[in-house]
């Protein structure tokens, strides 16, 4: 009787001291094997190959902005030197004034730096976003990002992104035209 | 005398029973927030800064192109020549077209439309390389491009 009672009392607790070490190891494995970089960038739409020549004809010469980046990373708009701020403001005015029928032509030298090119692209996207946002708040009373997909489509139809890129593909081939970013 | 000795004996052990729970919650946090690295990048690059950024959508159908300087295991640039890495190996520009054509031929049509490319290029890269890559993407009929950039708070328009 005495013997049995003593045996029932002693149930040893599970030793969980090493669980912390195990979970630490899992944690370190995940820290090493994964990365946290947030993939963000400027989204562009390239023009398909076969439609190269079509859109040139429909555009009035007065409704074209000619942007050029030369080999020394100087940006010119219709022949005059401009800053990124000028590009953004003048593009915004221009798109507002001309609506659907405008065209922005961007010519990039092959020796120009990618940094300059992306800053010009960024200024253009900023200008378009500003126009679309003001349109969205006029029509729907909220910013472009908050509109529904149909509303965004309607605004995108009214303010299309018409950026055409002219460049020499390589030294011996003729130039091709690219119309970018109609989403 | 016997009173003091009795007090010295018992120092209670630190209770670490909840430590595993703590670590597990950190672990779960990390598992939710991060994504696994799929490729080893052999190219050293620093993306440009911009303000008008949008997120990459539909990450499973994104192909990555890295443009930058080749680097060794220690992460030091070993050459001044620009190289191009497509997903996990270093290739040449014409090879991009063949790779993408093979890839899109093996996909069903609805996935083919969603196929997109993220270009992570060094800010010092020359436009000739970028333009050639863009031309190859057009020839391969992969038209969604995302130029990777980091958010800048200093650019003001």
pLDDT in tens, B82-93: 888 888 888 888
The residues, ordered by sequence, that sit 6+ positions from B66 with a Cβ below 8 Å of its Cβ are: B41, B43, B45, B84, B85, B86, B120, B121
What is the mean pLDDT of the segment spanning B115-141?
Answer: 87
Q: What is the pTM of this model?
A: 0.74
Q: Looking at beta carbons, which residues of chain B come within 8 Å of A112?
A: 126-127
Q: How far apart are CA B101 and CA B139, in angstroms?
A: 9
User: What pLDDT is stored for residue A105 in this prediction?
Assistant: 84
DSSP A48: P
Residue A139: per-residue pLDDT: 84
Burial A149-165, CB ≥16 within 10 A → b, else e = eeebebbbeebbbbbbb
The residue-averaged pLDDT of A4-30 equals 79
Lookup result for tokens 């010469």: A61
- Output the pLDDT for position B25: 92
> In terms of DSSP bridges, do strands B150-151 and B43-44 run parallel, antiparallel, or are they unpaired?
unpaired
- Taking only residues 101 to 140 of chain A, the set having a beta carbon closer than 8 angstroms to any beta carbon of chain B reads 108-115, 117-119, 121-123, 125-126, 129
Q: Report yes or no: A70 and A109 within 8 Å, Cβ to Cβ.
A: yes
| Number of cross-chain residue pairs from A and B with Cβ atoms under 8 Å apart | 164
Q: Which of B27, B125, B149 sits opposite A23 (nearest CB)?
A: B27
Option in A23, A85, A112 nearest B23 (CB) = A23
Mark yes or no for CB contact B127/A125 under 8 Å.
no
- pLDDT at A183 > cutoff 50: no
Which positions 65-104 of A are in contact with B (Cβ < 8 Å)? 69, 84-85, 88-89
Question: Is residue B109 predicted with pLDDT exceeding 60?
Answer: yes
pLDDT in tens, A127-167: 888 888 888 888 888 888 888 888 888 888 888 888 888 76
Asked if residue B59 has pLDDT above 80, the reply is no
Please report which confidence band the pLDDT of residue A4 belongs to, taking 50, 70 and 90 as the band edges. low
Distance separating alpha carbons of residues B157 and B146, to the nearest angstrom: 22
Cα dihedral sign, B124-B129-B131-B134: negative
Region A70-79 average pLDDT: 84
The whole-number pLDDT of residue A2 equals 53
Q: How far apart are CA B37 and CA B88, in angstroms?
A: 11
- In this predicted structure, what is the pLDDT of residue A174? 41
CA distance A160 to A124: 12
Contact A88 B36 (CB under 8 A): no
The verdict on a CB contact (< 8 Å) between A114 and B24 is no
Task: Categorize the per-residue pLDDT at A182 as very low, low, confident or very high, splitting at 50, 70 and 90.
Answer: very low
Distance CA B134, CA A121 (A): 15
Q: Please give the Cα distance from A74 to B70 (Å, whole number).
A: 28
pLDDT at B122 over 70: yes
Nearest to B50 among A34, A113, A118 (CB): A118
CA-nearest residue of chain B to A16?
A: B17
CB contact under 8 A, A114 and B125: yes
Is some CB atom of chain B closer than 8 A to the CB atom of A30? Answer: yes
- As a whole number, the mean pLDDT across chain A is 78
Per-residue pLDDT, averaged over B46-70, amounts to 85
pLDDT at A70: 84
Which of A16, A24, A43, A67 to substitute to test the interface with B, most B CBs within 10 Å? A43
The pLDDT value given to residue A106 = 85
- What is the C-alpha separation between A18 and A123, in angstroms, rounded? 56
Mean pLDDT along residues B49-58: 82
* Å between B53 CA and nearest CA of chain A: 5
Residue B3 has pLDDT above 70, yes or no: no
The mean pLDDT value for B100-126 works out to 86
| pLDDT, position A180 | 52
């Amino acid at each position: 009787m005495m013997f049995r009672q003593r045996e029932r009392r002693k149930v040893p607790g599970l030793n969980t001291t090493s669980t912390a070490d195990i979970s630490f190891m899992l944690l370190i494995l995940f820290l090493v094997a994964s990365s946290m970089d947030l993939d963000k960038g400027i989204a562009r739409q390239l023009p398909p190959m076969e439609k190269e020549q079509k859109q040139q004809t429909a555009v009035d010469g007065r409704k074209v902005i000619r942007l050029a980046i030369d080999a020394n990373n100087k940006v010119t708009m219709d022949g005059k030197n401009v800053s990124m701020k000028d590009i953004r403001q003048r593009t915004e005015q221009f798109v507002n004034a001309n609506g659907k029928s405008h065209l922005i032509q961007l010519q990039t030298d092959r020796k120009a730096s990618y940094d300059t090119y992306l800053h010009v692209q960024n200024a253009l996207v900023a200008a378009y976003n500003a126009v679309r946002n003001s349109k969205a708040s006029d029509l729907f009373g909220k910013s472009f990002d908050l509109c529904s997909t149909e509303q965004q489509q309607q605004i995108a139809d009214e303010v299309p992104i018409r950026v055409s890129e002219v460049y020499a593909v390589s030294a011996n081939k003729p130039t091709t035209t690219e119309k970018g970013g109609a989403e | 005398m016997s009173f003091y000795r009795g007090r010295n004996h018992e120092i209670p052990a630190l209770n670490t029973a909840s430590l595993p729970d703590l670590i597990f919650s950190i672990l779960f946090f990390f598992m939710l927030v991060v994504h696994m690295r799929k490729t080893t990048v052999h190219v050293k690059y620093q993306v440009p800064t911009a303000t008008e950024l949008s997120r990459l959508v539909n990450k499973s159908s994104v192909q990555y192109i890295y443009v930058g300087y080749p680097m060794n295991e220690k992460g030091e640039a070993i050459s001044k020549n620009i190289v191009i890495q497509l997903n996990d190996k270093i290739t040449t520009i014409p090879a991009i077209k063949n790779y993408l054509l093979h890839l899109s031929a093996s996909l069903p049509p609805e996935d083919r439309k969603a196929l997109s490319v993220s270009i992570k290029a060094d800010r010092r890269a020359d436009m000739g390389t970028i333009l050639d890559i863009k031309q190859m993407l057009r020839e391969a009929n992969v038209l969604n491009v995302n130029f990777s950039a980091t958010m800048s708070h200093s650019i003001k328009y």
